[in-house]
Amino acid sequence: MFENISVDISEGVAILTINRPKQLNALNKQTIEELNLTLKDIEENNEVGVVILTGSEDKAFVAGADIKEFADFTIPQGGALAQKGQDLLFNLVEHYPKPVIAAVNGFALGGGLELAMSAHIRIASKNAKMGLPEVSLGVIPGYGGTQRLAQLVGKGKANELIFTAGMISSEEALRCGLVNEVVEQDMLMETALKMASKIMRNSPMAIRSAIKAVNAGYTSGLNGFQVEIEEFAKCFGTEDFKEGTSAFLEKRKANFRK
């Protein structure tokens, strides 16, 4: 159905694969739009509890924004595309109400690392290489990279990675907190699926609230503690809360709806 992505939904997990291997899965406008449409569709799909984002083949997750597309941009075009891209994809992923795991299977550079950083959790294969090389092209990260990298690894390390335009190994990414876990490449999807299945044992409504509360602390104008109180209170009115507490008291496993 789509030209640049494939979607595979099974057992509550939607695997979205960016599928432009000849361009190392570089993100062009069309791919961003296809991801946007698919994510919006999946948001309404009660059969899906977790989304996994990955890249096709074993060389790249996403090797950046498609350089051919922005090579001759003007200042207004750059600003418009950055805004549109952030709205259509990167902010959508960060605030997505279902957990999004990035399975980083190779190069995650520029816009590719920015996409992985928008996800809630990152698992990388050993061969993955990550970096924000934008300044080597005369631009800065435009899809939230200056903000999200600093949030994940701290300002000093983010500055180093951005200013040097260098790439780091998956092991270094693990050490600095950029990824949650590193595994052999042939274990990557299995590990992501295992994590998805652990997540799906829990209340989707509570997880949705947790996503809102955690993100609020990183959103200017919002007080994360206050949002936590509000979301905490809302939980007491949910079916999931009734099911979770009843299951505990009845000494059985909770059976939450997706």
- From 34, 94, 114, 231, active-site residue: 114
Q: How many whole angstroms separate alpha carbon 140 and alpha carbon 118? A: 17
Catalytic: 134?
A: yes
B/e letters for 15-45, b = 16+ CB within 10 Å, e = fewer, are: bbbbbbeebbbbbbeebbbbbbebbeebeee
Nearest by Cα to 178 from 70, 68, 92, 61: 61
Residues in contact with ligand DAK by the rule CB under 6 A: 23-24, 26, 63-68, 70, 73, 78, 81-82, 85, 107, 109-111, 133-134, 137, 139, 142-143
Task: Report the nearest approach of ligand DAK to the CB of residue 7 (Å).
Answer: 23
Instruction: Provide the β-strand partners of residue 103.
Output: 54, 123
Task: Report the nearest approach of ligand DAK to the CB of residue 141 (Å).
Answer: 6
Task: Report the nearest approach of ligand DAK to the CB of residue 144 (Å).
Answer: 9
Catalytic: 44?
A: no
- From 43, 47, 69, 134, active-site residue: 134
The residue (of 78 and 217) whose beta carbon lies closer to ligand DAK is 78
The residue (of 141 and 204) whose beta carbon lies closer to ligand DAK is 141
Active site residues: 114, 134
